[in-house]
Amino acid sequence: MLVCTRRIEWDAMHRIPNHEGRCRAFHGHRYVAEVTCHAPSLDALGRIVDFGVIKERVGGWVDAQWDHTAILMRGDSDPAALAIAASNEALGRPIYWMEAPPTAENIAAELAVKANELLAGTGVTVVRLRIWETPNAWAEWTPDPA
């Protein structure tokens, strides 16, 4: 199978409620996403998709929703979560609420679903999405086998 991958980077804060270690505290990361796409055939120029399409659609969404803000779990019991939400809202950077703890695994799954929605109509599908939380730790999403 022939695939192409676009790298997208952003900075965000998160915390993992009930984590057994330091990740239960608010902290930030330089996240990296590798969005890997496949199409049934190449276009007239010999591409799966122009890399700029992935950058514009998926990267644009990441910039608007996740960059320089907080990715937190809805219902986070830490009072600071609501204070951060209010502060970011006042500064024009609303936080992103996830239904699950914002682990690298859950962020990868969330972005994979969103990326497939954002790329609808292009003829490509996301076949792998890797989230690097640190330079040496990553999580990967792939679709369930049919």
User: Residues with catalytic annotation?
Assistant: 23, 68, 133
The count of other CB atoms within 10 Å of the CB of residue 28 is 12
Radius of gyration of the chain (CA): 16
User: 43 and 26 in contact (C-beta within 8 Å)?
Assistant: no
130 is written with which tokens? Answer: 């890797």
* Nearest Cα residue to 28 out of 140, 136, 133: 133
